[in-house]
Amino acid sequence: MPTMPTPDLRDPYDRLDDLAALKPGWDSYGAHAISPSAIEHARKLLRGFAVVPCCDGSLQLELHALGLDLEIYIDEDGIRGALFWRPQEPKGEGK
């Protein structure tokens, strides 16, 4: 069975600072430097998460931003499920 990489559990904003400092070629295969715009989008996305208590004692992480909806359900056993969707405009609107 393949082993999963150990997640980086540092503060995500600190991690983004580290990633923003990567120079071209950081992976030794000619990778590009991380785009400042990608870093800023990631910061906005992180700020959009809400932590919501559930009546059964679990938690839900929610993100409703940037045209996306994401809900992650967490109980005493860990992540139990997730929903992801991109709402669509009703027909006839947005023209």
Q: What is the pLDDT of residues 4-60, one digit of tens each?
A: 556 666 788 999 999 999 999 999 999 999 999 999 989 988 888 899 999 999 999
Phi, psi of 18 (to 5 degrees): -65, -45
Query: Using CA atoms, how far apart are residues 59 and 69, in angstroms rounded to an integer?
Result: 16
Q: Residue 42 CB: number of other CB atoms within 10 A?
A: 17
pTM summary value: 0.64
Query: Using CA atoms, how far apart are residues 82 and 61, in angstroms rounded to an integer?
Result: 9
Helices (H), the chain: 12-20, 36-47
